[in-house]
Amino acid sequence: MNIDQLCDTANAMVQKGKGILAADESTGTIKKRFDGIGVESTADNRRDWREMLFRTEPAMQEAISGVILYDETLRQSAVDGTPLVELIRRAGAVPGIKVDMGAQGMAGFSGEKVTAGLDGLRNRMHEYYDLGARFAKWRAVIEIDAHRPSAACVTANCHALARYAAICQEANIVPIVEPEVLMDGAHDINRCAEVTEWTLKHLYMELFMHGVVLEGSVLKPNMVLSGKKCATQAGVEEVAAATVKCLKASVPGAVPGIAFLSGGQSDIDATAHLNAMNASGELPWNLTFSYGRALQAAPLAAWSGKPENHDACQASFNHRASMNSLATLGQWSAQKEG
């Protein structure tokens, strides 16, 4: 393990003014998104879509610090033969890879899930390093309802995240640990805060027990939000205050940065919430973004699979990347959306 390399990479990933593009949709997920714009999900179309994003200037140079890739994309080359990983590196961003195998039903706990993918992970990590990946991502799913999450679900998922993180660092790959407390459901913001704090405290206990170097890791959590079906939706300032309070209670200051997932929020909400947190005062860690849909939905609609829409697609991506870059500095405003 090269601790200096891990720390340097982690700090590069969460640097001020930049954030992470999550372009790691599985083949099934990207098919659903392509279906929405009437585009066939072929390997070439998936490559063309991602190549458009990775070649976008100045977004990739000025607003994107890293890109999470799917296994297929990590191995693909652009139309001119340049590996997609190389396009990312040339832009000054760090290539990464999603390594989990998805959330599976948890035996004995109806409706709860635990993430699969630890079997054979050590060997895959060494291969991914050789292919150019310098960080990885593993997502755990925690659902809230009247009876969930169970202690068993939280424990199982945090234990798996810690084992994954230790394997990453052994291979000199920075782990992004992603315990996502879902915003589905009718719970209020206080219940979300309670479950998120519980989950994060358990996660850092497991990371400590597994010897994970926190300075060479990145946290990708949910924001503290009202459930989608909750009658009372918390406002921007309430979300920011509740999220910061939760993080201060549960995330060690040794962690260099926190890159939030958007979790089904609208593009504007995800940006506004991140901005409010960064504008709230001095914090122990850099707060940034690791958005997929919140960065890609507008460009995808602008592209719609048509070559003549190439420039419109890149203009849309430039705009969303720029807005979120401002949010990492606490300098965004609704007026700047245009």
What pLDDT digit, counting tens, does each position of 60-80 carry? 999 999 999 999 999 999 999
pLDDT at 100: 98
Give the separation between CA 136 and CA 128, rounded to whole angstroms: 9
pLDDT confidence bin for 103, thresholds 50/70/90:
very high
Q: So what's the pLDDT on residue 134? A: 98
Q: Considering the domain 3-337, what is its CATH architecture? A: Alpha-Beta Barrel (3.20)
* Rounded Cα–Cα distance for residues 186 and 72 (Å): 37
Q: Which of 18, 98, 137, 220 is catalytic?
A: 220
Among 51, 112, 178, 197, the active-site one is: 178
Average pLDDT, the chain: 97
Q: How far is CA 267 from CA 9, 37, 297, 301, in A?
A: 27, 18, 8, 13
The reported pTM is 0.97
Give the 3-state secondary structure percentages of the chain, helix then strand then coil, rounded to 5. 50, 15, 35
pLDDT band at 338 (very low <50, low <70, confident <90, very high): confident
In this prediction, residues 93-105 reach a mean pLDDT of 97
* Rg (the chain; Cα; Å): 19
User: How large is the average pLDDT for residues 255-279?
Assistant: 97
Is-catalytic flag, 178? yes
If you average pLDDT over residues 169-194, what whole number do you get?
97
Cα-flanking dihedrals φ and ψ of residue 21, to 5°? -90, 120
What percent of the chain has pLDDT above 90?
98
> Quick check: 146 pLDDT over 90?
no
Contact 279, 330 (CB under 8 A): yes
CA distance 55 to 84: 10
Which amino acid is located at 245 in the chain? K
* Residue 94 · residue 13 · CB < 8 Å: yes
